[in-house]
Chains A and B, each alone.
Chain A
C-alpha cells in the first residue's frame, strides 16, 4: 500500500499570510504513460463534506480560487494557500489514486488567528 505522510498536523495563521501543506508518498505517483501525478487535494470545512480543490497534483478544480496552488511531482507534493482568508478555515487532505488501495494523508487543520 502507498503511505501518504502529510504535514503539518495543524497550523494557525493570520489572514493575508501564506501557508504550505506537504504530502509525501511512499512510492511515485507519476504515471509514465501520461505523465500525470495521481494526487488530489481536498478541503473539508467544519460540518461539511470534502470538496475537491486540486487534481493531478496541480490542476485547480473549476471555481476554486487561484490562491490555492498545487505543486510537486513523483513523491513530494505541496498545497500552497496564498493570502489566506477566514473562509479557508478547514481540514485539508491529500489523496493518492495511483494504485489500489486509494490512500489519504492524515489531514492538516488550518486555523485562523
Chain B
C-alpha cells in the first residue's frame, strides 16, 4: 500500500524558514518523480515544486522560485521542501505527491504551514 507521510509543518513568522519532509513507502521511491502541491485555506490547488528520480532536476513556479528548494534522499525514501523567506501568502496545506498526474498517482494527507507574526 502506497503511503506518503508529511511532517514539519507549523506556525512560523514571516521571513523565517521551515523544512517539510515526506516519507514514502509501498512503492519503489527512486523510480518516481515527486511533487509538492499546496492549498491555501478554502482555496484551490497550486503546484509548488517537482523533482526527478535522481534529484538532478528540479522545477518551481515563479511564486516560490529562489525561496523554496526541493530535494530527495532515495536511500531514505524521503523528499524534502526547504522553505525560506516565508510570506503570509505561503500559508497553506502542503501535499507531497507521487507522480500525481499519471497511472498510480497518489497524494499524502498534507501538512499545514501557517506564516504569521
Residues of A participating in the B interface, judged by any CB pair closer than 8 Å: 38, 40, 42, 48-52, 55-56, 59, 61-62, 93, 95, 97, 100-107
Task: Choose from A52, A101, A103, A105 the contact partner of B105 (Cβ within 8 Å).
Answer: A52
Contacts of A38 in B (CB 8 A): 101
Q: Which residue of B lies closest to A49 (CB)?
A: B107
The answer to whether B105 and A55 have CB atoms under 8 Å apart is yes
Task: Report Cα–Cα, A101/B35, bound state, in Å.
Answer: 12
Task: Report Cα–Cα, A62/B101, bound state, in Å.
Answer: 13
Residues of B participating in the A interface, judged by any CB pair closer than 8 Å: 44-47, 50, 59, 61-62, 95, 100-110
Task: Report Cα–Cα, A106/B104, bound state, in Å.
Answer: 23
The answer to whether B101 and A103 have CB atoms under 8 Å apart is no
The answer to whether A52 and B100 have CB atoms under 8 Å apart is yes
Contacts of A61 in B (CB 8 A): 103-105
Q: Provide a sorted-by-A list of 7 A–B residue pairs whose CB atoms are within 8 angstroms.
A: A40-B102, A42-B45, A52-B107, A55-B105, A62-B103, A93-B45, A101-B62
The answer to whether B44 and A106 have CB atoms under 8 Å apart is yes
Task: Report Cα–Cα, A33/B110, bound state, in Å.
Answer: 35
The answer to whether A97 and B44 have CB atoms under 8 Å apart is no
The answer to whether A49 and B108 have CB atoms under 8 Å apart is yes
Contacts of B95 in A (CB 8 A): 49-50
Known A97-B101, A101-B62; judge A51-B44 contact (CB<8 A). no
- Top 7 closest pairs, chain A to chain B, by CB: A102-B47, A40-B101, A52-B105, A101-B61, A49-B107, A104-B45, A97-B101
Contacts of B102 in A (CB 8 A): 40, 55-56
